[in-house]
Amino acid sequence: MPCFLASSLSSLSVVSLASNSISSIFLLGKISEHELPLTYAAADCFVLPTRALECFGLIVLEAFACNTPVIATPVGAIPELMGKYANQGWLCADISAPAIAERMKAFLKGELNTDGNLRNHALSYSYTAVPARLETIILNNRF
């Protein structure tokens, strides 16, 4: 299976650890905002190897909106945004390259699956859904 990298060369350390399952590596460089949805949609899986400073994790929701599963590290709000998928093996044990490579290998072996509702999960964070949930919480004094 080929691997396409849209990030820096530092990601190669993670890919090299999972390399026995990867046939070739392509460096795409920076992806434009216009091409981003198409790139997510074309991917079998998106790997988010965040080490720090990922406050909200919008990238997870962008990939999910294209129905693309995400392998991610447990940084910032990423575990919360991943929801039930974090508990289904898509979240790495830590931020290390071996932990990320282990999840990549699991994906490549077919050990990670989704229920096909990634887009619906992303939509639960839409600009209309979140205010409605907040209104319910506030009006029902659930805070």
Note the pLDDT tens digit of each residue in 78-114.
Answer: 999 999 999 999 999 999 989 998 999 899 899 999 9
Q: CA Rg, the chain, in Å? A: 16
Identify which has the larger pLDDT, 6 or 64.
64
- Give the integer Cα–Cα distance in Å for 66 and 62: 7
Spell out where 61-104 has E strands: 70-72
- Cβ pair 122, 130 in contact under 8 A: no
Identify which has the larger pLDDT, 130 or 20.
130
Q: Does the pLDDT at position 67 exceed 70?
A: yes
Q: Does the pLDDT at position 61 exceed 90?
A: yes
pLDDT at 132: 84
User: Which sign does the torsion angle of CA 18, 31, 116, 126 carry?
Assistant: positive
H/E element holding 2? strand 2-5
Q: Does the pLDDT at position 1 exceed 70?
A: no
As a three-state string, the secondary structure of 21-60 is HCCEEEECCCCCCCCHHHHHHHCCCEEECCCCCCCCCHHH
pLDDT at 80: 92
C-alpha torsion angle, residues 130, 133, 135, 138 (rounded to 10): -120
